[in-house]
Structure 1
Amino acid sequence: MKFNRKIASDTKPKPNFVTKKRLREDEINFDKLRSYRLDRVKKELEKNNLEACILFDPVNVRYALDTTNMSIYNMHNLTRYCFIPVNGPVILYEYFNCEKLASHLNLINEIRPAITWDYFTNGNQAGTQLKKWINEIKDLSSSYFKSKKLAIDVINGPAITALNKSGIEVVDAKLIVEQARVIKSPEELKCMKAALDVAEIGINKMREELKAGMTEDELWSILHKTNIEHGGEWIECRILSSGQRTNPWMQESSNKIIQSGEIVSFDTDMVGPYGYCADISRTFVEGYKFNEEQKKLYQMAVEHINHNSRLIKPGMSFKEFTEKSWKLPDEYYGNRYS
């Protein structure tokens, strides 16, 4: 079943625009990148005795098929998903009238219109739409997962109930995709480096533009702008605070005005170019002149990093590393980050 609704003539206009290369774009073999990741998903399905999965989470769809469309919207609406069998066609269920967005990706064998059934998109027709979706899944099951066992990452209650009634058992696909991601390919490492490069550019701009009188939100916006300029996608959190707001940690940026000499701390939590995350923590002092308390905190941070860096060696377990890691002084333990 393909899209067949025409709203314009079947013309193929020649592109006449100029594009700017993204960081490390020429270094990355995208065919290898995509093939490797899809193969990892299929191998994890086989390892867990599963024949197929359906992925709704845009992050998981991006990993498996390298296709994106309204990612933030689709994080809270079940309007775009993909079907991946171990043996059989990879099918993208695309958002209404958006089939051309992924037409260049050769690992997708077929594009079908997404059947949606949640109340937000269908209102009182949600029940009728759910029956259509269940029939679609039953049809897939008869050909590609005859075990009637299907891995799904994100789904709502009515759909699970309906699938169970139809004889299809639902298992969590998070395990499948997370384990697939554990081993990175050389091409993925290049993507990760590009994301880190963009984060560092944004961080340096933040440091340069930090000044008393600006709000936390104004400072935080610099990272967003930098990320988008370099083909990045979104930022997971808004963790930036200054002065007294830095403790307890995890407070989000606000309209608080940064004062002279205040400490400013943040985590980037940035999903950058190619969909890879760059999570970097940084702390600055406005005006770059430390008071005695700030010097003390800085020295502890340096000791912490240097001590733990010296511990790292091949074969060390996380448990061993934790047991030998730098110990936080008791006076700071109550408001520790983790």
Structure 2
Amino acid sequence: MNRASDYETGIAAKPQPMTLEQAAWITPPTQLTDTEAMLDMPRLRRYRQERLRKQIKLHNLGGVLLTDPLSIRYATGVRNCALFQTHIHAGYLFVPAEGPVVYFDSSPGRYTGNQLETIDIIRDDLLPISHMFAGSRHEEWCRKWALQIKDLMDQYGGGNPRIGLEKAGTEGTIAFQNVGLEVLDAGAALAMARKIKSAEEILCMNQTIAVAEDGMTRMRNALVNGISEVQLWSHMWQANIEGGGEWIEYRLLASGERTNPWQQEAGSRMIRAGDLVCFDCGMIGPFGYGADISRAFHCGPGKPTDHQRMLYTQAWEEIQHNTELMQPGADFNDIIANRYIQPEAIGQQTYPALCHGLGMGDEWPVVYYPADEQFHFDGQLEAGMVICVESYVGEVGGNEGIKLENQVLVTESGPITLSRYPFEDNLLNPEF
């Protein structure tokens, strides 16, 4: 039906919600515009809070008390000194199964919270609940904190004394128990809420990936004989900050002999011609969403060696093969059984995880290799999960290794790779 017939009949097509498959291919505009559809942030926040409330009920909790800044942002959208609050408790958030969401914070957080529809009550009677602020009175303030939250549970917890706590510490946990609350870990409810992403979350994630890939391009262009590892890594940080991002979780960039074993952090080593350079971006970017992608470059001049190409090709093969296993309904144990198996000579030194979840940082689940069978747990992939597929290849005691990783969305129609940065032709094809 064309537009003319719409006007003639008075009937217009109703916009349909975006599917995950559609969102997977869209990098949204982020500057104010009157000609393009923007991210629907109220819908994003509503979706996340509704998922959390559903899990609070499923875990039979009267409410949860959140102190981790990523959890507070997931539940409401509030951001206030996030990195500081990862190690010093400041603001905290009470989310009941039913009833008003109550936020306690300093004035900057309260100002932000006042603008958000996800918070019903903002209070300024914030209590000093860390040793930095409370000192020798920490136990005293924890008792007052417990009474403060007990009052909220009495009002809004529906008579259920079970509360999910997050990073309350020993003194806090004891204080909550002493006022008659049954204390449980909020982690399970949070993990189950976060695991399924909405289309808006995928759009946010795509923006973070675009920023990460900008950083990769800057690094690749800056990679010359004589640059140090930390100098090269600074280009990723600069791209993230300029792109509206938050931070990078680690300094995982290594070159030359430091690529084996993996997980050596960037240092002052000078990168030399002929070196492999591997990195894992581990970025918390725009809107607080993660980009967790790994690539490996070859520093010129000159061409990669046959051994470097072999390592790279084997890691690439593992990524391609295991990505196809990221199907909705796939059992974790079946993924392990059907994984790509490296040749014995280079397969004894795997990455710690075959794959893992991602959202606002690394998330549940983690699927391990057989060597770590003691850590295995049951579960299945579901549509809406974002899974990072990992590979590390390098001989035990060898001088080089390759780390690769892609970010994959699980959909009803199969896996869609969100990370688009290309792999290296000169490391895959001897013609280059």
TM-score normalised according to structure 2 size: 0.70
Please show how residues 1-338 of structure 1 align to structure 2 within 5 Å: 21=31, 27-95=38-106, 98-113=109-124, 114-145=126-157, 146-287=159-300, 289-311=303-325, 313-338=327-352
Instruction: Name the residue aligned to 1:3.
Output: none
Cα deviation for residue 158 of structure 1 reads 0.6
Instruction: Go from structure 1 to structure 2 and tell me whether the alpha carbon gap of 1:124 and 1:22 turns closer, same or farther (over 3 Å shift).
Output: farther
Contact 2:147 2:179 in 1 (8 A): no
Contact 1:260 1:286 in 2 (8 A): yes
Cα deviation for residue 162 of structure 1 reads 1.3
The superposition leaves residues 293-335 of structure 1 with CA deviations (integer Å, 9 ceiling, x where unpaired) of 1122122223323333455555433322221221112222333
Contact 2:64 2:95 in 1 (8 A): yes
Cα deviation for residue 21 of structure 1 reads 2.1
Residue identity opposite 2:44 in structure 1: L
Task: In structure 1, list runs of 5 or more residues that go unmatched.
Answer: 1-19
Instruction: Go from structure 1 to structure 2 and tell me whether the alpha carbon gap of 1:92 and 1:203 turns closer, same or farther (over 3 Å shift).
Output: same
Cα deviation for residue 22 of structure 1 reads 8.6
For residues 109 and 319 of structure 2, the distance between their equivalents in structure 1, rounded to whole angstroms, comes to: 47
For residues 292 and 87 of structure 1, the distance between their equivalents in structure 2, rounded to whole angstroms, comes to: 62
Contact 2:78 2:109 in 1 (8 A): no
Instruction: Name the residue aligned to 1:9.
Output: none
Instruction: Go from structure 1 to structure 2 and tell me whether the alpha carbon gap of 1:173 and 1:104 turns closer, same or farther (over 3 Å shift).
Output: same
Contact 1:27 1:190 in 2 (8 A): no
Contact 1:52 1:84 in 2 (8 A): yes
Residue identity opposite 1:328 in structure 2: Q
For residues 253 and 70 of structure 1, the distance between their equivalents in structure 2, rounded to whole angstroms, comes to: 25
Instruction: Go from structure 1 to structure 2 and tell me whether the alpha carbon gap of 1:84 and 1:330 turns closer, same or farther (over 3 Å shift).
Output: same
Instruction: Go from structure 1 to structure 2 and tell me whether the alpha carbon gap of 1:298 and 1:333 turns closer, same or farther (over 3 Å shift).
Output: closer
SS in 2 for 1:283: strand
Higher-helix-fraction structure: 1
SS in 2 for 1:27: coil
Contact 1:34 1:66 in 2 (8 A): yes
Deviates more, 1:324-333 or 1:48-57: 324-333
Instruction: Go from structure 1 to structure 2 and tell me whether the alpha carbon gap of 1:44 and 1:286 turns closer, same or farther (over 3 Å shift).
Output: same
For residues 221 and 233 of structure 2, the distance between their equivalents in structure 1, rounded to whole angstroms, comes to: 13
Instruction: Go from structure 1 to structure 2 and tell me whether the alpha carbon gap of 1:72 and 1:260 turns closer, same or farther (over 3 Å shift).
Output: same
TM-score normalised according to structure 1 size: 0.89
Task: In structure 2, list runs of 5 or more residues that go unmatched.
Answer: 1-29, 353-432
Contact 2:341 2:347 in 1 (8 A): no
For residues 61 and 320 of structure 2, the distance between their equivalents in structure 1, rounded to whole angstroms, comes to: 45
For residues 155 and 51 of structure 1, the distance between their equivalents in structure 2, rounded to whole angstroms, comes to: 17
Deviates more, 1:280-289 or 1:305-314: 305-314
For residues 284 and 182 of structure 2, the distance between their equivalents in structure 1, rounded to whole angstroms, comes to: 33
Cα deviation for residue 139 of structure 1 reads 1.1
Higher-strand-fraction structure: 2
Q: Aligned pairs, how many?
A: 318
Instruction: Name the residue aligned to 2:18.
Output: none
> Sequence identity of aligned pairs in percent?
36
For residues 343 and 334 of structure 2, the distance between their equivalents in structure 1, rounded to whole angstroms, comes to: 20
Instruction: Go from structure 1 to structure 2 and tell me whether the alpha carbon gap of 1:22 and 1:211 turns closer, same or farther (over 3 Å shift).
Output: farther
Deviates more, 1:298-307 or 1:103-112: 298-307
For residues 67 and 41 of structure 1, the distance between their equivalents in structure 2, rounded to whole angstroms, comes to: 15
For residues 100 and 178 of structure 2, the distance between their equivalents in structure 1, rounded to whole angstroms, comes to: 26
For residues 108 and 310 of structure 1, the distance between their equivalents in structure 2, rounded to whole angstroms, comes to: 41
For residues 162 and 310 of structure 1, the distance between their equivalents in structure 2, rounded to whole angstroms, comes to: 49
SS in 2 for 1:250: coil
Over aligned residues, Cα RMSD in angstroms?
Answer: 1.9
Contact 2:143 2:176 in 1 (8 A): no
For residues 342 and 212 of structure 2, the distance between their equivalents in structure 1, rounded to whole angstroms, comes to: 28
Deviates more, 1:279-288 or 1:320-329: 320-329
For residues 39 and 327 of structure 1, the distance between their equivalents in structure 2, rounded to whole angstroms, comes to: 41
Contact 1:22 1:231 in 2 (8 A): no
SS in 2 for 1:129: helix
